[in-house]
């Protein structure tokens, strides 16, 4: 994991290494929008919807970009004041892929 975003926000944000390749391929404008959304999460980690069942420890923040809904899945560590972004992508197959990633992890 490595830091993402600014250091003057209440929670420090990290992302898992597998997202590095995903973020590199994104259009610049989507990356800028993603940075804004991640900053919102860092300022208020409970903005995302808490999941249930297999994904109980995960929160998901949804946002729209050019008519598509994108989701950011993350974990909160209140003790360390850290957020770990574990998945990002459009809604289609998002939860299926997230569950698959968590099973392998």
Residue pLDDT, tens place only, 65-75: 999 999 999 99
The reported pLDDT for the residue numbered 34 is 96
Q: Would you say 27 and 6 are in contact if contact means Cβ atoms under 8 Å apart?
A: no
Q: In the chain, what are the domains?
A: 2-104 (3.30.2310.20)
- Using DSSP, how many helices (H) and how many strands (E) does the chain show? 3, 6
Residue pLDDT, tens place only, 16-31: 999 988 899 999 999 9
Q: Would you say 73 and 59 are in contact if contact means Cβ atoms under 8 Å apart?
A: yes
């Amino acid at each position: 994991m490595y830091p993402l975003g600014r250091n003057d926000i209440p929670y420090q944000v990290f992302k898992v290494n597998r997202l590095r390749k995903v973020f590199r391929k994104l259009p610049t404008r989507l990356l800028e929008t993603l940075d804004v959304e991640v900053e919102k999460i860092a300022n208020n980690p409970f903005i995302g919807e808490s999941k249930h069942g297999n994904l109980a420890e995960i929160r998901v923040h949804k946002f729209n970009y050019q008519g598509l809904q994108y989701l950011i899945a993350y974990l909160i560590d209140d003790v360390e004041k850290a957020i770990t972004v574990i998945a990002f992508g459009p809604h289609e197959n998002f939860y299926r892929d997230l569950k698959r990633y968590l099973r392998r992890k």
